[in-house]
Structure 1
Amino acid sequence: MTDPTTTASDLSRLTFGLDTFGDVTVDAHGAPVPASQVIRDVIAQGELADSVGIDHFSVGEHHRPDFAISAPDMVLAALATRTERITLGTAVIVLSSDDPLRVVERFSTLDALSQGRAELTVGRGSFTESFPLFGFALQDYETLFEEKLDLLSAAITGEPITWSGTTRAPLKAQSLYPPLERALPTWVAVGGSPNSVVRAARHRLPLMLAIIGGAADRFAPYVRLFHEANEKLGNGRLPVGVHSPGHIAADDATAREQLAPHWIHNRNEIGRERGWGPSGIAEFDAEMQHGALYVGSPETVAHRIATTIRTVGVDRFDLKYASGPMPHEQLMESIRLYGTEVIPRVRELLAARPDTEMDSPFDEA
């Protein structure tokens, strides 16, 4: 059976990213910031991420009032002209309500603008506002994603596309423009369904696990399943990433104080729509100490990320650094600390103890 854990020899391929949905923020006085300014602030956040050595910067797609970004490729195109090395991706594109061929043409354009730094993460999306907005039926949720992922998989190779399905007219030797200069790197985002994990392997695409609640180690079986499926399909080894929320400040108390009200606000706004019970500081603290919420000082967050990488067995860790209406200045400091202190410390921890689980900084509390 394939071992999902990360060993010392794997550290060279380990990368780190940042994700944001462009949460509509508040200013230092608690007043809402216009969405237009939030988008400009995200550009500044991406520039900072590039300057402090972070590997990936990804922005998600939403069509609702609490998130400012509905067109990730537009934001990423602006960043392409203002950054030098960081990859520019999505977290995620809601593929079910988009046109895979238009997605590839947009990201072929972005890849040209960025000189080969574009990438995609696609998913079904946990928010469904785009379905009625763009004229898709929710009862077709599964079929739309399955067929569009199949078409996208053909399109990202850059070769002429011959394809048929039930959701659109067939294609025969169709080319896209501008032509891709390389196969477009594409990840499939999965929330924890075994069928979704196997689907990613079937399409020979890397896996991005959205671990947004509960202990991260419960996802290790999905990583094992993914590697086993790829082995059976003859795909070779494909990378696995993790996407989880968090916030970094100078010390644990400051990080908790800064994030808690915004995280709880965000959790309860979404929870009211989905029928969840109300959340509070007890749930926040439980997630912060034992779940998938990476909050604290650089040392605390580094230990917790190293533990996740070690126990789940991943090649990439993306921190969702914005959760709720946290002010831009606090987000910028979190990004700075992540790039300059957390990432180097994670590498040190894994190199020093490559075959054992990291101690939790909360164990001594």
Structure 2
Amino acid sequence: MPRQYEFGLDTFGDVTAGPDGAPLPHAQVLRNVVDEAVLADRLGLDFFGIGEHHRHEFAVSAPDVVLAAIASRTERIHLGSAVTVLSSDDPVRVFQRFSTLDAVSNGRAEVILGRGSFIESFPLFGYDLSQYQELFEEKLQLFAALLTQEPVTWAGTLRPPLTDQLVYPPVEHGRLKTWVGVGGSPESVVRAANYGLPLVLAIIGGSPARFAPLADLYRRALEQFGHDPQPIAVHSPGLIAETDAAALDTLWPHYEVIINRIGRERGWGPATRAHFEAEASEHGALYAGSPETVAQKIAAAMRSIGATRFDLKYSNGTLPHEVMSESIERYATQVVPRVRELLAEQDDAEPDAAEPDAAEPDARAGSDASATPADAPPAS
């Protein structure tokens, strides 16, 4: 029986350049993100994810609001966060916002929970960074309890307790599809398995094959915790153009800007074209190239990890809206069909392979969070 694969897009609403090269207003970027999602829906892609940030390079601080706007203009594409920074939010409110999105989208909502690779949300909402780990652990525990949609009695140390509390609105059919996004630590992978939640691996640098042991650890941990198999998704950046050279030449100046801006904050050295091209090579985590080049890389990464979903982080720094729209179209109409073909060939050659559940959301591996080529990944 053929495996089921899904293909999506992620964006953080990166503030992009207009025709004159100047940054667009945040409001226009948000409207463009909605248009990009509408295009993805029209082209038949499976998922559209929006990350949460609280800094000037990114326009989206409230993904669920933007996703609700997208829901009103789309019909079938699933809509989710990439990621929701649960550590600096309230689990009850996150559940309520996404169960509401699920209702208005007629069952198409997903949420990817993570810790975030940036820290701006902690002082913004009054959280202590010294409790970075404890905040996520405790809030994920509560969120997992809310997913049962039964009265919750819960007590922690960082939030008031709940006693026989129901949370509204309930999800209309089944339960809210919830993933945990991780940046590459074994502890984060085991945490996701402990709760029986699907896993998103944010792979934004180095060889994706490096993450195969983490995927194996996750599958073993699920079994040891007594949970059913769960899907694994991959999130990685990229750009599709007519040729490899065109993709690299188009992306490089925008990639360089965002890498160097964030790198100055984090103590990284300047970005180099050589490193950029190495990441775009066969064994790197940057999916920039012609449709055939990108399709071959995606298929290889999904095979090595055993992933059933791939989400392309299509926005990269100041890359213009028009360029991203062209890349989305090539991804949907040329790359995805080719990847399906390549994966089907392998599946046909392995008729006895166990069928994983269908996916329904770095060399710089590290913090768990939503990711750009410059920051760490969707998170746990």
TM range (shorter): over 0.9
Aligned AA for 1:161?
Answer: V
**CA separation in 1, counterparts of 2:250 and 2:3?**
34
Equivalences for residues 203-282 of structure 1 within 5 A:
203-282=195-274
Structure 2 counterpart of 1:35: 26
Equivalences for residues 1-365 of structure 1 within 5 A:
9=1, 11-181=2-172, 182-289=174-281, 290-354=283-347
Q: Deviations over 1:198-255 (max 9, x none)?
A: 0001011001001000000000000000000011111010111110000001111111
Answer yes or no: is the 8 Å Cα contact 2:240–2:330 preserved in 1.
yes
**CA separation in 1, counterparts of 2:290 and 2:19?**
21
Answer yes or no: is the 8 Å Cα contact 1:206–1:239 preserved in 2.
yes
Answer yes or no: is the 8 Å Cα contact 2:196–2:228 preserved in 1.
no
Between Structure 1 and Structure 2, how many residues are aligned?
347
Identity %: 60
Relative to the length of structure 1, the TM-score reads 0.93
Answer yes or no: is the 8 Å Cα contact 2:87–2:139 preserved in 1.
yes
Bigger relative contact order (CA 8 A; separation at least 6): 2
**CA separation in 2, counterparts of 1:156 and 1:19?**
24
**CA separation in 2, counterparts of 1:62 and 1:108?**
21
Relative to the length of structure 2, the TM-score reads 0.90
Give 3-state SS (helix, strand or coil) of 2:268's partner: coil
Give 3-state SS (helix, strand or coil) of 2:58's partner: coil
**CA separation in 2, counterparts of 1:326 and 1:279?**
17
Aligned AA for 1:223?
Answer: A
Q: CA deviation at 1:58?
A: 0.4
Answer yes or no: is the 8 Å Cα contact 1:25–1:328 preserved in 2.
yes
Q: CA deviation at 1:352?
A: 2.1
Q: CA deviation at 1:311?
A: 1.1
Structure 1: unaligned runs, 5 residues or longer: 1-8, 357-365
**CA separation in 2, counterparts of 1:236 and 1:205?**
10
Answer yes or no: is the 8 Å Cα contact 1:157–1:184 preserved in 2.
no
Q: CA RMSD in A?
A: 1.1
**CA separation in 1, counterparts of 2:344 and 2:106?**
32
Structure 1 runs (4+) greater than 6 angstroms displaced: none
Q: Deviations over 1:167-207 (max 9, x none)?
A: 11111110112222231000000001101000001011001
Answer yes or no: is the 8 Å Cα contact 1:201–1:226 preserved in 2.
yes
**CA separation in 1, counterparts of 2:106 and 2:164?**
27
